[in-house]
Amino acid sequence: MSTAVLIHAVDLLLMSTLMYRGLPFVDWQPRGLPKIHWVIGVVAFASCIPVAFYCLYDFGFQVDWGQPRVTLHSLAGCAFFGAFILKVTLVRTRGLRSWMLPLAGGVLATLTVVLWSISALWCLNGPPRTSRVTWSC
């Protein structure tokens, strides 16, 4: 499920780059792209809710400086939902600076990649043999 969220995040990043005309040599924007971006964003957020619920229910918020990956994952998960709330608030706010919304979206996409790489990718590759992590994938 978290890999699906990552794929949606990449889709959203590409669509927003098209909307802000950030891709070189691309001078067009498909009709209805903002609406498609919104729908995929809702699907991506709805897909991350079961993952977050599972993590919080099974593991809770963990700060263990002996396991920095677990601590980083807990902090990045909290930052992700804070960044999501900030981005939704910025979308609904009028009169913003032109760089604020793309920055918030980029932070949200970056946090998605960080969370995926220190959880799902780590589990897919298998924990290192010297790892002291007690929770399973």
Instruction: Identify the domain containing residue 55 by its residue range.
Output: 2-125
Contact of 105 with 16, CB cutoff 8 Å: yes
Task: Tell whether 133 is covered by a domain.
Answer: no
* Structural domain count, the chain: 1
In this structure, is residue 132 part of a structural domain?
no
Domain assignment present for residue 131? The answer is no
The pTM of the full predicted model, rounded to 2 decimals, is 0.77
Q: What sign has the CA pseudo-torsion 115, 119, 121, 127? A: positive
Are 101 and 91 a contacting pair, CB within 8 Å?
A: yes
Continuous segment of H or E residues that includes residue 94: none
**pLDDT values of the chain reduced to their tens digit, one per residue, 137 residues:** 778 888 988 999 888 888 887 777 777 777 888 899 999 999 999 998 988 888 888 778 888 777 788 888 889 999 999 999 999 899 888 888 888 888 998 999 999 999 888 887 777 776 665 555 555 55
Does 108 reside within a domain?
A: yes
Question: In Å, how far are 9, 17, 55, 88, 114 from 28, measured between CA atoms?
Answer: 21, 11, 41, 26, 31
